[in-house]
Chain A
C-alpha cells in the first residue's frame, strides 16, 4: 500500500497544470464553498499548496 499510495498521490499532483487549467476555464459546479486554504478539483478536496 505504501508505494502505490504514493504513486497514486503523485499521479494526482502530476496533473497539476491540467487541473489548474480546468479549474480556471471550467470551474466546479457545486454549491460548496471551501475556505481560502482549499481548492476543489474534480471532487478532490486539496490544499492550494498542493497545486502551487
Chain B
C-alpha cells in the first residue's frame, strides 16, 4: 500500500508493524521486500516523493571541509524512492577473501565471514537483474601481481521503477512517502527504540512503532540521524565509543597516466580492469583497488575543415614534444593513446568523518552534515604501489608501456584532482564492540536490542569493488536475521 504522509489526516498509524525500515534505496527496499516475503508486516518510509524534487534534495545540503566539495557529495545521493539506484551505473562486483582480514593500519576488519555473505549471491543477482553467466571471466589474466577484476553489469536496476508496483500492491508493506525521519525515541527503561517520529512537509509529526527498526538512509544520513538524536544520550545513539560518523571511506578515483600498446587484442572488449593480487597486497601492506586501462577511440574531426583539422591533429600526434605541449594547453588525446583510471580502496581512518554542524539546521531542525573526507599515508601508498606495479606488469607481459603521472612516481608531490566514485561507506562500521564500530555482526547497533543499520555505512573496509552488490547481499542477510527473531514486547 502506498500512503502519502502529507495527506494523512491524523497521527494514528494503521497498525503496529513487525519491522520499520527507513530509506528506500537498494538496501531499504531489499530488506522490506524479503521480510514481506516471509510474512512480516513492514512499514517502509521514504522522506522524498516517488520522483525527484528540488525541495527534497535540498534536505541533503551540508558542508565539506575535506578533500571534495559538497556539491560532489550532494549529487552522489538522490532523495526519492529508489535512492541512489536511480543514477547507479549498474557495475556489480564483490569483496575478495583478503578484504576480510584485518587492515594493516590496525583497524578491525569484517566480523562476518565472506562465505556467509556469498550465501546471498544468487538472491542479489536476481534482485539486480544480472545474467546467469555474470562474473564469468573468459580470459584469465596470466600475470604475476594482478588478477582480473570480476564484475558484471546490471541493466542497471532502478529500484523505483522496478519495485514501485509491487510495493503498492503488497499486503505486507505500507510504503509511506514524504515521511521525514525526525526523531528516534528510546525507551527510558530498556535498551530499545520505542518509536520513530516522522514529519511531513506540512510540519505535522507522526509516531510509528515496530518490533524492530532499520535505518537504511545511506552512509551520511545514517550517521547524521544517530548523532542528531542526542537528547536522551548526549553523545547520540549507538555512539558510546565515539565511532558514529568515523571511518568515512570513498573509492579514490585518480588518474595514473597514459599507455601505449603493442597488443590491442587485450582491449577488444573495452577497458581492461585489474585487481592487485593478495600476494601484492600483503607484500606492500596496501589496500585493494581496481586499475583500469581504457583505450581511447580514434579522434574524429567534424565540419567543413574536417580534413584540415584531422591533418593538424595527425601532425601534432607525430611529435612527442608537440603532443606534450598540446596536452598542457588542453585535454588533447592522440589516436592510440590509452588512459589509466582507478578505483582505490581507502583504509579505515578515524579522522575521515561525518559530524554535525554547530549552527546550521535543515527545515525540520536537524543539524546539517559536515563531511571531512581525508586520505592518509596508507591510501597514498596504495595508490602509488598499484600504479607502479601495474605499469611493470603490463611491460613485463609485453602488453603495454605506461607513462605515469609525476605525482605517482614522486611521493613528495601532492596528488592532483583526487576524484571519487560516489561510494560512500563506513560511518557506522561493523565491529566486535562499540570501541571500534557501531553495529555488530548482525548489523544491530551495539548496546540496543532492536535498532539495525543497512547499507554500505556498515562496511568496515571498502575493498577493491563497487559496493551495491554487497549492499544487496548484506540486506538480504539482514532480512533473514530479522525474520528469524521472535517478536518482543517493548
CB pair A1 B401 closer than 8 Å: no
Chain A contributes a number of interface residues (CB within 8 A of B) equal to 28
Residues of B within 8 A of A30 (CB): 409-410
Report the minimum CB–CB distance from B9 to chain A (whole Å).
65
Task: Report the minimum CB–CB distance from B332 to chain A (whole Å).
Answer: 14
| In the complex, A4 has a CB within 8 A of chain B | yes
CB of A32 within 8 Å of the partner chain: yes
Contacts of B404 in A (CB 8 A): 43, 45
Q: Please, how many angstroms separate the alpha-carbon atoms of A40 and B404 in the complex?
A: 10
Beyond A5-B336, A8-B336, whether A43 also contacts B403 by CB under 8 A is yes
- CB proximity to B under 8 Å, residues A9-29: 9, 11-12, 15, 28-29
Known contacts A11-B320, A45-B404, A47-B396; A40/B336 CB under 8 A: no
In the docked arrangement, what's the CA distance between A30 and B396, Å? 21
Q: In whole angstroms, what is the CA distance A3 to B33 when docked?
A: 53
CA distance A2 to B411 in the complex (A): 34
Specify the main secondary structure of chain A where it touches its partner: mixed
Q: Which residues of A contact B409 (CB under 8 A)?
A: 28, 30, 32, 40, 43
CA distance A10 to B361 in the complex (A): 61
Q: How far, in Å, is A34 (CB) from chain B's closest CB?
A: 7
Query: B402 touching A45 by the CB < 8 A rule?
Result: yes
In the assembled complex, B270 has its CB within 8 A of some CB on chain A:
no
- Chain A interface: which of B64-72, B216-224, B256-264, B428-436? B256-264
B contact residues around A40 at 8 Å (CB):
409
B480: shortest Cβ distance to chain A, in Å?
Answer: 48
**Contact in complex: B298, A38 (CB < 8 Å):** no
B335–A4 CB distance below 8 A: yes
Q: Which residues of chain A come closer than 8 Å to B392, judged between CB atoms? A: 34-35, 38, 45
B320 is contacted by which of A4, A15, A45, A47 (Cβ under 8 Å)?
A15
- In chain B, positions 280-304 with a C-beta closer than 8 Å to chain A are 295, 297-298
Q: Which residues of A contact B (CB under 8 A)?
A: 1-2, 4-9, 11-12, 15, 28-32, 34-35, 37-38, 40, 42-47, 50
Pull 7 A–B residue pairs with CB atoms less than 8 Å apart, ordered by A.
Answer: A1-B295, A1-B298, A4-B317, A6-B262, A11-B318, A12-B260, A47-B395
List 9 extra interface pairs beyond A1-B264, A12-B401, CB under 8 A: A1-B297, A1-B336, A5-B264, A9-B261, A31-B410, A31-B411, A32-B410, A38-B395, A44-B401
